[in-house]
Structure 1
Amino acid sequence: MNKRKLSFWQIWNMSFGFLGIQFGFALQGGFMSRIFQTLGAAKDDIPMLWIAAPLTGLLVQPIIGYMSDRTWSAKWGRRRPYFLFGAILSSIALFLVPHSPTLWIAAGFLWILDASINISMEPFRALVADKLPDSQRSYGFVMQTLIIGIGTWVASSLPWLVSQLGVSDSAASGVVPMSVKVAFAIGALVFLASILYTVFTTTEYPPEDMEEFEREKAKKNQFIPDIINNIGSMPTTMKKLGVVQFFSWFAFFTMWSMANPALTEHVFKTPAPVEANYKMEIIEQSEAYNIANTAFQKSSNLVGSYMGTYGLSSMAFALLLVLYTSKRRINRKYVHMGALILGGIGFLLMKYIPSHEYLTISFVLIGLAWGSILSMPYAMLSSSVNPKKMGVIMGIFNMFIVIPQIVAALGGVNFVSSLLGDQAINAMTVAGISLILAGLANFLIVNPKAITYQTVEE
């Protein structure tokens, strides 16, 4: 099928729903560990509590990708029904997460939230490949990254902003502060509204051969064999990108799960207070606990706000790439390599900064890596696979995102960090080393079509 080139606003409209998806991910990534700590989790237990997130991605994305490849409605298209269903579930879960009364309920809500976000997210990746010709693929994925950057920046700063408007950061022991609850409620509203915008402003191409599509759709019990077959016939470029993805996502999972305990402890000097260390029946000790807890909550707001900087940085990086790739070719391999190495340096700097203001430098560098991770691997992959199987291929590619996170959650982060010492900040050093290794792994990519594509007619 000869796909026509789309205008800036058409690509913007089809990508806008990612604003809501990233609100969900940013609130989850920036504040779930804080919620776990507030509900009594020890810092060494936090990675394991995050296991729900990658496991749901491992299960949900290939299934949703397979199903969306076999879905077609003249009114709703192929991918949009999944956007909408996932958005409704995600919005409900986002609202409920900070109201969790116990640790196990919070972990359960994380499971539901991540599964719901994945239902919306995977078809968005496939939509870019569905709608855009090869010459606009980099442009399209970078546009998604631009919108993701906006979402990360705003959502990560929401608890701090809500607190500045007068909503309390103080709460009783084991209760999430109202500032976080209000922030998550705003995120739920933005999630649903932005997905609805894309659903109602974007159309989709029908299957190129409707008769063949209906025959494929009519086949029964093909899901497992098809998934196994597609894994077995995985292109070489996809396997090599998998190595890059492994180290990239190990690093970012480490940041999402451990940045709050690491930075509140090492940089802000306000670790989460342990209630067992205070005699709460004694007024002075109860007041001391409340003071320490409020200091931890306020520092956590600032950690979230600083983390938002990587969204802002990735947005600026994506904007530059949008402007450049709309007219010229880029070498995806070297762009991705350089961005990942700079992000790794950002993580390594965290252990040595003299005050929290310098965290901005670290997260700006991390944002360059994040902006590249959200665009370059997908642009390289989409130029190397069968377009008729784009949904299921993108779902399978997600394995290279979730497997490193599962490894990290099952003890990888704690084990490697412990080799450097028992301070929580060592987890950020591990993230930095991992991201630099991801950058160097780009030397494995040699397919010319994956590395670069001419984005304008010569």
Structure 2
Amino acid sequence: MTSLQKPRLNFWQLWNMSFGYVGIQFGFALQNANVSRIFETLGASVDAIPILWIAGPVTGLVVQPIVGYLSDKTWNRLGRRKPYFLIGAISASLALLVMPNSPALWFAAGMLWIMDAAINLTMEPMRAFVGDMLPDDQRTTGFAVQTFFIGASSVIGSLLPWLLTNVFNVANTAPAGQVPDSVKWSFYLGGIVYLGAVLWTIIRTKEYSPEQQRAFHGEAESAEPEGEPAFTLNPGRYYGLGTGFVLAGLVGSLVVHQFAWDKGLYILSFGLSGYGLLQIVAAWRYNAGRKRGLVELMHDLNNMPGPMKQLSLAQMFTWFALFAFFIYATTAVTSHHFGSTDPRSDAYNQGANWVGVLMAVWNGVAALAAFALPVLARRTSRVLTHVVCLVVGGLGLGSMYFVRDPLWLIASMTAFGLAWASLLTMPYAILSSVVPYRKMGVYMGMFNFFIVIPQIIAAALLGLLVRTVFDGHAVNALLLGGVSMIIAAGLMLRVRDERGAG
């Protein structure tokens, strides 16, 4: 059967399709710029902050592939991806309203867990949405529009505490153990924007039906009839791999215990054992004749397309750098550039607000760069465009160690923002071109593993490094992040973009 050409969307259709990212990124911007501040206000020590942040990555590791798998197989009156947009938006908005009113540190850590789960529930299907709705040659532009919304809305989201303090005279300090009103009202406004923006995309965009998608891909009828999916796997191999991972995780846990290493490393060792158990359970279920659910997820994970594997390694080093920045930007700037580690002091809070300004610059540059990236990709390649942006971004992040005048950090963030724009565009455009359309959601979700795993590594190791090797100087973690991003650029040179620039 001859396939139909998927229609190209006009500017306003692209706009409506991705407008929900305004809300998603409002939530992320407020989280990234203010959660460490909330934790410190509630009594967290500098070296404890990374382990408190671990909730988000662990949640994304679990939520995104499951949501992707389910949304690939969903079709109802609301659509395929849109039911997940709606549930995630409602949950995230409620979490944003509650987070700044956390009465204790443990409660704030729990709310971060809930908030991140809800944001992931909204975000993962919206990535797959671009692959569903656009022809291959328009996907780079589609992800660039998302990047524009991410950058533009993050400017406002990151600046909110500063704007409320300096324009509307909202209090920026509070008694010990209490979050300032400038932060509270920022989160309240963020919750409203989050829900409103996602509802706009739900209402203004119509998804293609399964029948239309089959026609676009030249299928006369479903290639996967009702019943078990058509694939085979070797149970013996899965039992062997699973046992090996379980043992590796147990040995890792014993080593961490024996040498009294940072307890965050248990997350990695337990994760290895957990992954091994999933392999064993998948083999057992396959032998029992049940291929859906866990078995299908494990099969897809173990049979990722080659370019996806190449992208994944580069992603790991890139996101190690990003998470170093997310965790330590506030601590590094307030201590290294403003000379204060006391959350009650005016200098500390000026520095914390300046971090919001820097994140606004970072995201503003990303928004402006977003529409130049497809042009560069067409003239060179998506891979080369991403390599150049990562090198520039790594130099920008590392420069924060050497710059002492806070004003010059704007230059650092300008360079870092270029890498951020490319990171939100190029890997997803490449990925959407090389995975099967029926598995767009699940592979977008699994791609998140290679964002989350380096975040877990960063959260487990950076606290230990800052406390011991770096002698408490958080800015050193940013320098390490810059080096990691440049390594990622080198790894990107290995990636085969099989369908060329879109």
Q: TM-score, normalised by structure 1?
A: 0.90
Structure 2 residue 394 is the aligned partner of structure 1 residue 394:
no
Structure 1 counterpart of 2:446, one-letter code: I
Corresponding position: 1:215 with 2:285: no
Match of 2:406 in 1: 356
Aligned: 1:68 with 2:71: yes
Please say if 1:316 is aligned against 2:368.
Answer: yes
Question: Cα deviations across residues 147-175 of structure 1 (Å, max 9, x unaligned)?
Answer: 10011111000000011111001211000
Question: Equivalents in 2 of 1:424, 1:441: separation in Å?
Answer: 27
What number of residue pairs does the alignment pair up? 431
Q: 1:183 aligns with which of 169, 175, 186?
A: 186
Question: Residues 401 and 475 of structure 2 are in contact (CA less than 8 Å); yes or no, is this contact kept in structure 1?
Answer: yes
CA change 1:155–1:217 in 2 (3 A) is farther
**Range with greater deviation from structure 2 (402-411 or 173-182):** 402-411
Q: What's the offset of the Cα at 1:272?
A: 2.5
Residues 413-453 of structure 1: per-residue CA shift (max 9 Å, x gap): 5337843443111111111111111111111113442xx23
One-letter amino acid matched to 1:266: H
Confirm whether residue 430 of structure 1 aligns to residue 480 of structure 2.
Answer: yes
Counterpart of 1:115 in structure 2 is 117
Report the 3-state secondary structure (helix = DSSP H, G, I; strand = E; otherwise coil) of the residue aligned with 2:111. helix
Corresponding residue of 1:276: none
Aligned equivalent of 1:239: 309
User: Which consecutive aligned stretches of 4+ in structure 1 deviate over 4 angstroms post-superposition?
Assistant: 209-214, 216-221, 322-325
Q: Could you tell me which residue of structure 1 aligns to residue 18 of structure 2? A: 15
2:79 — aligned with what? Answer: 77
Is the 2:321–2:481 contact (alpha carbons within 8 Å) kept by the matching residues of 1? yes
> 2 CA distance for matches of 1:417 and 1:159?
29
1:359-378 to structure 2, matched below 5 A, reads 359-378=409-428
Q: How far did 1:299 drift?
A: 2.0
Distance in 2 (CA, whole Å) between partners of 1:151 and 1:43 is 29
8 A Cα contact 1:417 1:426, kept in partner? no
Cα gap change, 1:416 to 1:422, in 2 (>3 Å): closer
SS in 1 for 2:226: helix
Q: TM-score, normalised by structure 2?
A: 0.83
Which one of 183, 197, 200 corresponds to residue 200 of structure 2? 197
CA contact (8 A) 2:148 2:366 kept: yes
Taking the aligned partners of 1:413 and 1:338, their CA distance within structure 2 comes to 30
CA distance in 1, matches of 2:475, 2:402: 10
| Mapping of residues 300-311 of structure 1, within 5 Å | 300-311=352-363
Q: Does 1:160 align with 2:162?
A: yes
**Could you tell me whether the CA contact under 8 Å between 1:33 and 1:257 is conserved in 2?**
yes
Q: Distance in 1 between matches of 2:470 and 2:459?
A: 18
* CA contact 1:246–1:401 (8 Å) conserved in 2: yes
Do the aligned residues in 2 keep the contact of 1:48 with 1:411 (CA within 8 Å)? no
Match among 22, 25, 28 for residue 25 of structure 1: 28
Q: Secondary structure at the match of 1:369?
A: helix
* Contact 1:254/1:413 (<8 A) preserved: no
Q: 2:62, 2:72 → 1: CA distance?
A: 16
Q: CA deviation at 1:214?
A: 6.6
Displacement of 1:322 after TM fit? 5.0
CA offsets 1:82-124 (integer angstroms, 9 cap, x no match) = 1011000000001111110110000000000000000000000
Deviates more, 1:34-43 or 1:213-222: 213-222
CA distance in 1, matches of 2:224, 2:349: 53
Worse overlay, 180-189 or 411-420: 411-420
* Separation in 2, partners of 1:413, 1:43: 8
Matched with 1:270 is: 340
Counterpart in the other structure of 1:277: none
Q: How does 1:335-354 map to 2 (within 5 A)?
A: 335-354=385-404
Whether the 8 Å contact between 1:344 and 1:434 is mirrored in structure 2 is yes
| 1:158-203 deviation digits (Å, cap 9, x = unpaired) | 0000111110012110000000000011111110010000000001
Deviations 1:320-349 (A, max 9, x none): 225666xx4541111101111111111111
Cα offsets for 1:215-270 (capped at 9, x unmatched):
16999761111111001111111111011100111111111111101110001112
1:257 alignment partner in structure 2: 327
Q: Does 1:229 align with 2:240?
A: no
CA contact (8 A) 2:430 2:497 kept: no
Whole-Å separation in 2 of the counterparts to 1:202 and 1:398: 25
Q: Quickly say closer, same or farther: Cα 1:416–1:270, change in 2 above 3 A.
A: closer
Deviation at 1:24?
A: 0.5
SS in 1 for 2:420: helix
The 2-side partners of 1:97 and 1:330 are apart by 44
How much has 1:301 moved relative to structure 2? 1.1
Give the conservation status (yes or no) of the 8 Å contact 1:143–1:322.
no
Indicate yes or no: 2:98 matched with 1:46. Answer: no
SS in 2 for 1:383: helix
* Runs of at least 5 residues in structure 1 that lack an aligned partner in the other structure: 274-289
Partner amino acid, structure 2, of 1:26: A
Cα 1:416–1:439 change in 2 (3 A) is farther
What is the root-mean-square deviation in Å for CA atoms of aligned residues?
1.9
Q: Residues 244, 429 of structure 1: CA spacing in aligned structure 2 closer, same or farther, 3 A cutoff?
A: same
Does structure 2 retain, via aligned residues, the 8 Å contact 1:156–1:305?
yes
Q: Which residue of 2 aligns with 1:96?
A: 98
Query: Are 1:403 and 2:453 matched, yes or no?
Result: yes
Counterpart among 127, 137, 145 of residue 129 in structure 2: 127
Q: Which runs of 5 or more structure 2 residues have no equivalent in the other structure?
A: 215-220, 231-289
- Secondary structure of 2:434's partner? coil
Letter in 2 for 1:295: A
